[in-house]
Amino acid sequence: MTEDVLIGVEGRVGRIALNRPKAIHALNLPMCQAMIDALLAWRDDAAIEAVVIDHSEGRGFCAGGDIRMLAESGAKDGREARAFFHTEYRLNHLLFTYAKPVVAFMDGITMGGGVGISQPAKYRVATEHTRFAMPETGIGLFPDVGGGWYLPRLEGRVGAFLALTGARLDGAECLALGLATHYLPSANLAEAKERIAQHPDRIGGILGELSVTAPPAAITGQIDKINRLFASDRYEDILAALEKDGGEWAQKELGALRTKSPQTCKVALRQLREGAAMPDFAAEMRQEYAIGSRVVAMHDFLEGVRALIVDKDNSPKWDPSTPEAVTDEWIDAIFAPLPPGEAWTPLT
């Protein structure tokens, strides 16, 4: 067991509360394993009718995975990083296929690994504090934990826009895009959890009663621009479209993309294109594990973590430094299936 996640039972509900407030509840391997163990135990327990996932305290639900550990491992043999990804993706898949209803409370920062444990839930609750993003292109990683499944299934080209820019969404925007199923004021969360514990057969009704009308979702006013300017699956085309447009919004997004890893942006576009056609979530996880096991040991991830997280100079030196230098062959090698003995497998 680990103190980084609090696991218990309240009424007829299994409760998982992330408990690393100083790290904004970023996931590590023991946390993922503890959640898997609890979910497996509750799966066949008739006394547990639903599962609630939230956080114990602090300003975020879950800021992602343990990035420093991944980079330190990637700089060596990558074994620890691969073990983390393998377990984390098994947790993601277990939640995605879980037979009992899961409620995720995305109150506060919900990024990366936090997206991976909230998006599989049947009920996804956003609040006025929600800040949702997949910011991986900024550190040379890629939108994993199922990003290749969820993002291309959003309206139009919004998924590609989010994957490339790492744009942050508020709770109202999450609701408008379907990333959240309900919008509750944070003041109502304690009552919601209390009532769900007593009446897990009425989750939808309880959340509906405690919901309020969300504020206007700013991103809905940009969807036409996103669909037009992010229309291509070719990264160079998107950059050219933004340059040609010349408008204030386009220039702002172009500036954001200029800070991202060209390699990662190309990986993300291909990941979303192929993810849209995946036969099931397990196939998506298998591919993301192959990508992750390679990218975690590559220059851009190690450099991105150095620049944004370790040294904090915010000046990563990407290599290749231009989109044109990231060849199709380069990306093909990242996406190649792993040998059978090394490939990701779901829990049996």
Catalytic annotation, residues:
65, 113, 136, 144
- Give the number of C-alpha atoms closer than 13 A to the C-alpha of residue 62, restricted to the C-beta side: 30
Closest CA to 284 of 174, 119, 50: 119
The sheet carrying 169-170 orders its strands as: 60-62, 109-111, 131-133, 169-170
Closest CA to 27 of 106, 85, 78: 85
Residues 6+ apart with CB under 8 A from 113: 26, 27, 62, 63, 64, 65, 88, 145
Q: E strands within the chain?
A: 5-10, 13-18, 50-55, 60-62, 102-106, 109-111, 123-126, 131-133, 169-170, 182-183
Beta bridge partners of 187: none
Beta bridge partners of 311: none
* Dihedral Cα 126, 122, 5, 150, nearest 10 deg: -80
Task: With H, G, I as helix, E, B as strand and everything else as coil, classify residue 155.
Answer: coil
